[in-house]
Structure 1
Amino acid sequence: MTEGNVSVSLSVMALFLDLDNTILPSKEAYAYAIAECAKDWDERKLGGSFLELYEAARKQVKSQLKHHSSNRLRLLCFKLMWERMRSTQRNGFQTQDIDGVLWMEDRYFFHFLSYFAEEKKKERYQTFLFPLLVSLSKEFPIYLTTNETLRTQLLKVRGFLPDTFRFTLITSEEVGFEKPSKEFFQYVLQRAGEDPTDCILIGDSWEDDILGANSHGISGIHIPEMWGEGDEVNPLGVDETTSFQKDLDGQTSPNQIWRASNTVSGLTFARSRFLQGQK
């Protein structure tokens, strides 16, 4: 860009977006899918309480694979459930049981994506969130940064977000480390090729998203509720933002953190900050 005879260079700014419970309602979809899977289990008369078996399996998987992206694979939970069920029946896991494990995973994703298919029809997405995401993606580079497996996130995005939304997807499975690790954010910044002070991350997790990003020089907007009331965005005080920061890297960060009433107000605020930075 030139103004008169002076060449002016505008910095490129990147927006990092958490995916789950920031721009798509994963908690609700997950709860719905598990409840429906319990019905499927009962219909096949497989025995025992699906919810008890699932929660026990999920707890073991999460503990055993802590900080590893595989701890989010439902398939591991279903395999463990089936193995435990067979052990109580004293006939052990057999080749034919593989069909049951894969059937359970198919049912989970069927219900999960069915929830998204209906949810995205609501006015608050079609009128407010989706048009804003598409518009922002035409103005600034957007990176979806998420602690999940690649296949799961590809299915979510394809089944929920608008076709014209432009983004780069980065999952913890690709990186090999989960947020808020330094390896994850170093990878994200390397992929983006941006100065961290020119970036903003928006997310619902205080530890994984906001403090993780802030410890690497990235400002953050915290979204406690995806569809919270109001449109306020307020800066957070030093005492509130730096106590965990010192535990992460031994020093405080000058980068700003805000808290927004909801995702739409957070996205709108991020846009205004980027536009101010380009002037």
Structure 2
Amino acid sequence: MALFLDLDNTLLPSKKAYNYAITQCATDWRERGLGDNFLELYELARKQVKSQLKHHSSNRLRLLCFKLVWEHLRSKDFGKNSEILKNTSQVSLSSQIRFGFQTEDIQEILWMEERYFFHFLHFYAEEKKKLSYKDSLFPLLISLSHEFPIYLTTNETLRTQLLKVQGFLPKGFRFTIITSEEVGFEKPTTEFFQYVIQKAGEDPNDCILLGDNWDDDIIGASSHGISCIHIPDMWGEGDEINEIHGSEGSIEGNNRVPGANPKNIWRASNIISGLTFARSWLLERQK
């Protein structure tokens, strides 16, 4: 028996933390006198990294985005200065180098990454003080982790996820974390879920997964015989659990199962109802 849990937006509110951190970074950028265009430059950089490193865990590295942000900034500076120099015939290799990426820029890039994680972790430090976590989610997670082996399965870099878990999830919570960085493949690939199943050493028919992403978590896991609970809203109202029949959504790309018909899939109103149902399901499988 094993309980597989997605981390981002299933156990912790990553989207909110990300939006908060990036917004605060934009403020830091302005206060440093670098202009009002941080969000524009960051979005350009993020899209480039995502496209270039599609399906690779490195596409989630903020450091790559911040490096590109600074390169874009320098490129724009060079563009402005080259227009000024164009009519005076002073555009040369030396001027291009002068307005290109510089050694001292490295300090700025690392500063940006440091500020991002500072704001990111500050959000989690405040968020975990809410009663919904302290009184409901955290005690349930600790209890479950002493009853069943828990595996956190996530598409991210290990360092980032370790920082999140350390800064947010409760003491006494036992788990094994598996990131796409260590597997070399992201969910919902066959390679990722085969690695998870092998690591757990369990029959996938005796395992259940909770996740918010339909394709990556639910279709990916169910295609390998793992039962699933879809949690589209981490703190949705009610305590309903509804079984899903038939196929929802299309699946495309390599290492997926086109037209897969979900089996043993439920949709939970929120994370608490999902975890409570998972506990009952695992106990039933033990009999």
Normalising by structure 1, report the TM-score.
Answer: 0.92
Give the aligned partner of residue 266 of structure 1. 274
In the TM superposition, residue 246 of structure 1 has moved relative to its aligned partner by 12
Give the aligned partner of residue 200 of structure 2. 192
C-alpha distance in 2 between matches for 1:246 and 1:67? 11
C-alpha distance in 2 between matches for 1:254 and 1:88? 50
Residue correspondence of structure 1 range 24-103 to structure 2 within 5 A: 24-90=12-78, 91-103=99-111
C-alpha distance in 1 between matches for 2:253 and 2:156? 27
C-alpha distance in 1 between matches for 2:185 and 2:260? 23
Task: Report the CA distance shift for 1:245/1:70 in structure 2 as closer, same or farther (over 3 A).
Answer: closer
Higher Cα Rg, which structure: 2
Gap regions ≥5 residues in structure 1? 1-12
Q: CA RMSD in A?
A: 1.6
Give the aligned partner of residue 96 of structure 2. none
In the TM superposition, residue 252 of structure 1 has moved relative to its aligned partner by 4.3
C-alpha distance in 1 between matches for 2:172 and 2:6? 19
C-alpha distance in 1 between matches for 2:35 and 2:247? 52
Runs of 4+ in 1 over 2 A off after TM superposition: 243-255
In the TM superposition, residue 89 of structure 1 has moved relative to its aligned partner by 1.4
C-alpha distance in 2 between matches for 1:230 and 1:14? 26
- The answer as to whether partners of 1:246 and 1:252 remain within 8 angstroms in 2 is no
Normalising by structure 2, report the TM-score.
Answer: 0.90
Give the aligned partner of residue 140 of structure 2. 132
- The answer as to whether partners of 1:211 and 1:245 remain within 8 angstroms in 2 is no
- The answer as to whether partners of 1:17 and 1:203 remain within 8 angstroms in 2 is yes
1:220 aligns to 2:228 (yes or no): yes
Candidates 173, 181, 189, aligned match of 1:181:
189
Amino acid at match of 1:198: D
Gap regions ≥5 residues in structure 2? 79-98
C-alpha distance in 2 between matches for 1:264 and 1:61? 35
In the TM superposition, residue 87 of structure 1 has moved relative to its aligned partner by 1.6
- The answer as to whether partners of 2:151 and 2:176 remain within 8 angstroms in 1 is yes
- Deviation string 1:92-137 (CA, Å, 9 cap, x unpaired) is 1100000000000000000000000000000000000000000000
Give the aligned partner of residue 5 of structure 1. none
Give the aligned partner of residue 5 of structure 2. 17
C-alpha distance in 1 between matches for 2:56 and 2:253? 24
Amino acid at match of 2:273: S
1:278 aligns to 2:261 (yes or no): no
C-alpha distance in 2 between matches for 1:260 and 1:245? 25
Amino acid at match of 1:92: G
What's the secondary structure of 1:240's corresponding residue?
coil
- The answer as to whether partners of 1:199 and 1:218 remain within 8 angstroms in 2 is yes
- The answer as to whether partners of 2:46 and 2:65 remain within 8 angstroms in 1 is yes
What's the secondary structure of 2:146's corresponding residue?
helix
* Worse overlay, 83-92 or 266-275: 83-92
